[in-house]
Chains A and B, each alone.
Chain A
Amino acid sequence: MTKPEYEWTWKEIPVGNVILEPGNASQYRTGDWKSLKPILNKEVCIHCGLCYIFCPDMAYNLNAEGYFIADLFYCKGCGICAKECPTGAITMVVEEEER
């Protein structure tokens, strides 16, 4: 997207509201939806990847150190990762509004 959708005029919208750029949903910050965010306790994590597998938004990525970390740009805070984690390494904490 060349500019955010809230700047588009009605004349700029493609006929039928088609999206001509494949995969541009990746630009949508679904992370805005959450009230809880996952915090990983690396002491307990066994690198099993269940959080990565169960995450419905594919927000988890493997980092260079071998940990699966939630990308908060996409994470909606559903808590499925914390529920599925076999060692209890993930805790959902209230995300404070950033000021």
Chain B
Amino acid sequence: MGRRVGMEVSIAAAEAVKQANVDVISAYPITPQTHIVEHLSELVANGELDAEFFCVESEHSALSVCVGSEATGARSFTCTSAQGLALMSEITYIASALRLPIVMIIANRTLSAPLSIWNDHSDAMSIRDCGWIQFFAENGQEVYDHVFISYRLAEEREVLLPVIINMDGFILSHVIEPFEMIEQEKIDQFLPPYQPLYRLHPDRPITMGAFALPSIFAETKKAQEVAIRSSMPKILEVWKAFGDMTGRYYKPIEAYKAEDADTLLVTMGSFGETASVSVDQMRQEGRSVGLVKIRLWRPFPFEELRQVALKAKNLVVIDRAVSVGMGGPVASEVKAALYGYDSRPSIYNFVAGISGRDVAPSDFIKMVDKAEIEIEEGNKEGYELYGVRE
């Protein structure tokens, strides 16, 4: 078993990037991602990590550098938040279409306006369709672990896709947690050096990023869609290998006291830990409530979600972002997953905790109370921004 230490999650994430032995780091500091970049910068400056650290002038360049370095076969890392992610969004689509296995951590933060540095998932949702494999971590250990999982997965010949690790800004990024650090020898075994399928090299010239005529563009998109959809078995395989190494097994959908539950809370990210406290409390009161945590956002785990969600009577889906004019994006996906089934549960959607407003265990209980009553009364379109003063 690895060393157990108390550490800030951002520092642990940076340590994981070091242990993953990256060749290139290119990032621009932005709250609340800053500590990751600062620590990596120190590690490189102190000679503890043999990598190129690019101090770029913007996030657009940060990811563009990673695209270039990854194209030459260098293992590359970047991280950002909110406005920074918005600025690099153009390049996110390019990295995935070029099939470059970059890994990025997003310390999730609210997109302006109004200007806010606090946490929600509006940044992640703005690039929902960018074609990267996307994880949402529930705690710091998951962030640390998923750096290794992500590189191993991204660089698999059958996958070759960039990966995003989402972690809630401040709520995760700035707290100190107990971590189980993994020994370097184990990491080296789990994560061998990157062997690119194609790379830019003068000895064998190839072209990356060429244009495509309408007569072939759709074929390229189908190839990309099939690649990310069929990455699911590889994701499960890598998680299994990681679990065998560390004892920490991960799944696309994590169920907590969900068997036989009438009502299921559905959450993504750090909400999961708080919600599990409220589930314990409600169970003690004899209520039939469980919890479903979505860890894998893309490719969306339709089948895994159905296996647990179809047995329930009610789903209370709690989003941490609002698709203005539509509602909660997670609820939208959950509804899509279940629409084809006659005996599907009723769904009530809350958007809660946007811009870092605290959501306590008591709030999850209030949401379950409200949803159960509304569903009982026949409200089929249940959706609201939780806790807003009228």
A interface residues with partner B (beta carbon < 8 Å): 5-6, 8-11, 13-20, 22, 25
Besides the contacts A16-B160, A19-B208, what 9 more A-B pairs have beta carbons closer than 8 Å?
A6-B216, A10-B220, A13-B223, A15-B198, A16-B98, A16-B100, A17-B97, A18-B198, A22-B207
With A15-B198, A16-B160, A17-B220 known as contacts, the answer to whether A10 contacts B207 (CB < 8 A) is no
With A10-B222, A22-B205 known as contacts, the answer to whether A17 contacts B215 (CB < 8 A) is no
Q: Considering the complex, which residues of chain B in the window 205-252 have a beta carbon less than 8 Å from any beta carbon of chain A?
A: 205-208, 210, 212-213, 215-216, 218-220, 222-223, 226-227
Shortest Cβ distance from residue B209 to the other chain A in the assembled complex, whole angstroms: 8
- Chain B positions within 8 Å of A13 at CB level: 216, 219-220, 223
A19 to B212, CA, bound (A): 11
A18 to B197, CA, bound (A): 11
Q: Are the C-beta atoms of B216 and A14 separated by less than 8 Å?
A: no
A20 to B98, CA, bound (A): 14
Q: Contact string, B75-113, partner A, CB cutoff 8 A, digits 1/0?
A: 000000000000000000000011110000000000000
Shortest Cβ distance from residue A11 to the other chain B in the assembled complex, whole angstroms: 7
A29 to B35, CA, bound (A): 52
- Chain B positions within 8 Å of A5 at CB level: 212-213, 215-216
A19 to B99, CA, bound (A): 13
Shortest Cβ distance from residue B223 to the other chain A in the assembled complex, whole angstroms: 5
Indicate the member of A6, A17, A22 with the most B CB atoms within 10 Å.
A17
A6 to B220, CA, bound (A): 12
B interface residues with partner A (beta carbon < 8 Å): 97-100, 160, 197-198, 205-208, 210, 212-213, 215-216, 218-220, 222-223, 226-227
Shortest Cβ distance from residue A6 to the other chain B in the assembled complex, whole angstroms: 4
With A5-B213, A10-B226 known as contacts, the answer to whether A18 contacts B206 (CB < 8 A) is yes
- Chain B positions within 8 Å of A10 at CB level: 218-220, 222-223, 226
A13 to B226, CA, bound (A): 12
Report 26 cross-chain contacts, Cβ distance below 8 Å, ordered by A residue.
Answer: A5-B215, A5-B216, A6-B213, A6-B216, A10-B219, A10-B222, A10-B223, A11-B223, A13-B223, A15-B99, A15-B160, A15-B197, A15-B223, A16-B99, A17-B98, A17-B220, A18-B198, A18-B207, A19-B206, A19-B207, A19-B208, A19-B210, A20-B198, A22-B205, A22-B206, A25-B210
A22 to B205, CA, bound (A): 6
- Chain B positions within 8 Å of A22 at CB level: 205-207
A10 to B213, CA, bound (A): 14
Shortest Cβ distance from residue A82 to the other chain B in the assembled complex, whole angstroms: 28
Indicate the member of A8, A13, A18 with the most B CB atoms within 10 Å.
A18
A9 to B227, CA, bound (A): 15
Shortest Cβ distance from residue A97 to the other chain B in the assembled complex, whole angstroms: 20
Q: Are the C-beta atoms of B212 and A14 separated by less than 8 Å?
A: no
Q: 8 shortest A-B CB distances, which residue pairs?
A: A16-B99, A19-B207, A6-B215, A10-B219, A10-B222, A22-B205, A5-B216, A10-B223
Shortest Cβ distance from residue B373 to the other chain A in the assembled complex, whole angstroms: 49
A2 to B100, CA, bound (A): 26
For A9, the closest partner residue in chain B by CB is B219
- Chain A positions within 8 Å of B197 at CB level: 15
Indicate the member of A5, A11, A16 with the most B CB atoms within 10 Å.
A16
A10 to B217, CA, bound (A): 9
- Chain A positions within 8 Å of B218 at CB level: 10
A16 to B200, CA, bound (A): 13
For A5, the closest partner residue in chain B by CB is B216
Shortest Cβ distance from residue A43 to the other chain B in the assembled complex, whole angstroms: 41
Q: Are the C-beta atoms of B219 and A16 separated by less than 8 Å?
A: no
For A6, the closest partner residue in chain B by CB is B215
- Chain A positions within 8 Å of B206 at CB level: 18-20, 22
A16 to B223, CA, bound (A): 9
Q: Are the C-beta atoms of A16 and B198 separated by less than 8 Å?
A: yes
- Chain B positions within 8 Å of A16 at CB level: 97-100, 160, 198, 208
A10 to B207, CA, bound (A): 18
For B212, the closest partner residue in chain A by CB is A17
Q: Are the C-beta atoms of B223 and A18 separated by less than 8 Å?
A: no
For A28, the closest partner residue in chain B by CB is B213
Q: Are the C-beta atoms of B210 and A17 separated by less than 8 Å?
A: yes
Indicate the member of B97, B210, B226 with the most A CB atoms within 10 Å.
B210
Q: Which of these, A8, A18, A19, contacts B219 with CB under 8 Å?
A: A8
Indicate the member of B97, B99, B226 with the most A CB atoms within 10 Å.
B99
For B96, the closest partner residue in chain A by CB is A16
